[in-house]
Amino acid sequence: MSIENLQKDIRGLKSRLAQKDQQIKELQLMHKISKEAAGVTNLKKTLQLIIEEACGAFEAGIGSILLFDSKSKELVMKAARGLDAEFLKSVRIKIGERISGWVAESRKPLLVVDVESDERFAKRSNEKYFNKSLITAPISCRNKFLGVININNKKSMEVFTEHDLDLLVAIAEQAGIIISNADTYRQFQEVYLNTVSALTEAIDTRDHYTKSHSEHVTKYAMSIAKEMDLDDERMNILRDASKLHDIGKIGVHDYILMKPGKLTKEEWEEIKLHSIKGVKILQPLTFLNGSLDAIRGHHERFDGKGYPDGKKGKNISLEARIMAVADSFDAMTTERPYRKGLSIKEAREEMIRNKGAQFDPEIVDAFIHCLDKQKLK
């Protein structure tokens, strides 16, 4: 065998090995995305993972996923890489407009070699690229259009290939399954939450004096959360926990809950078990796992003298510390058979007096700020 033929064989072997290596990487990518499709619980995080992995697979600097809003009939940015975060919040694209809108209208995947010379997009797109080649694909599931995924700006400056487009179409198919699963999951969540919330309302209405208590606690807690600029995930955890924080009282005798006078030591010990009972009731609802710590800990004190675990300071979850403030404020301002409710001013002063003892000072400050801005009435 000549040296030239040997070198040719070696080059061919290297090329085949490179192809196999690329195929393995692509299979690993699809496996990772498929795992997300099987158990998605946080759609926002999952979509961000998909676009990060896709950009990595194509070695691209920019990528985005836009979902179809059936109410506004627009595409709304939900996940992106390489784009300004503030800009993303304002992105809304009508069907037929720009490149994403064209894909949404045609429902076809697309490879563009040069955006500026393509007559379909040269005038309609004001998007800027340092590499004018891009690939984009519609996201759908069971013939229902859900959105669009875009990848552009290869770091190598190379033009995208048909193989690249085929891979993006496969990623879009997995994304469609994920989004559809998330919608179904949310529907199940709503059914369960509505059922459990109805039980909580039933508990509140057992006693005329605590009617709408969970509703009030939720309102106060969410106002504090907004003041503290909590992210969407923590806001959702806090909202669910606030709505359901007293569900454990379903296991407490009526004569104790509605007793007009002072509780005995034994009765008080039974009342103190309601946060633990609530966790036991809700544990089978796995989508509420993030809220269980808050439900268990909403009667803990910042100084460690609370219950059921005697946790102290920042060892108590943030959501539980917020709920402690919201729950106590509603209790203070609600009239009971054995005492009149405090005025807003009196309750405000009581909250301030207990900063660092019963309550987290930072959370009290946020709540007082809400009161002073008349966000709460």
The answer to whether residues 76 and 67 touch, using CB atoms and an 8 Å cutoff, is: yes
* Residue 334 domain flag: yes
Range of the domain at 338: 206-372
Q: Tell me which of 181, 214, 239 is where a domain ends.
A: 181
* Residue 50 domain flag: yes
Q: Tell me which of 165, 181, 197 is where a domain ends.
A: 181
Q: What values do phi and psi take at 335, rounded to 5?
A: -75, 140
Residues 171 and 262 in one domain: no
Going by C-alpha positions, the residue among 56, 2, 48 that lies closest to residue 26 is 56
* Residue 326 domain flag: yes
Residue 185: the pLDDT is 62
Residues 146 and 253 in one domain: no
E strands present in the chain: 60-69, 74-81, 92-94, 110-112, 134-141, 144-154
Q: What are the counts of helices (DSSP H) followed by strands (DSSP E) for the chain?
A: 14, 6
* Residue 276 domain flag: yes
Residues 144 and 247 in one domain: no
Residues 168 and 249 in one domain: no
* Residue 194 domain flag: no
Residues 163 and 212 in one domain: no
Residues 25 and 99 in one domain: yes
Q: Tell me which of 148, 181, 214 is where a domain ends.
A: 181
Residues 274 and 129 in one domain: no
* Residue 188 domain flag: no
Residues 164 and 245 in one domain: no
Residues 170 and 225 in one domain: no
Total number of residues shown for the chain: 377
Residues 27 and 82 in one domain: yes
Residues 120 and 216 in one domain: no
CA distance 236 to 224: 13
* Per-residue confidence in pLDDT tens, the chain, 377 aa: 566 655 555 565 555 545 544 444 544 554 555 555 445 457 788 888 889 888 888 889 889 999 999 889 999 999 899 887 666 777 888 998 888 899 999 999 999 888 777 776 655 445 555 567 889 999 998 888 999 999 988 888 888 989 889 889 988 988 888 888 777 666 666 766 666 666 666 666 655 555 688 889 999 999 999 999 998 889 989 998 998 898 888 777 777 777 777 788 888 888 888 899 989 888 877 777 789 999 999 999 999 999 999 999 999 999 999 999 999 999 898 876 666 778 888 999 999 999 999 999 999 999 999 988 875 55
Widest pairwise Cα distance in the chain = 104
DSSP 91: -
* Residue 146 domain flag: yes
Residues 274 and 130 in one domain: no
Query: Any bridge partners for residue 139, and if so which?
Result: 147
DSSP 40: -
Q: Are strands 134-141 and 74-81 parallel, antiparallel or unpaired?
A: unpaired
Residue 121: the pLDDT is 66
Residue 32: the pLDDT is 56
Counted domains in the chain: 2
CATH of the domain at 123: 3.30.450.40
CATH of the domain at 212: 1.10.3210.10
* Phi-psi domain of 110 (left: phi exceeds 0; alpha: psi -120 through 50; beta: other): beta
* Residue 200 domain flag: no
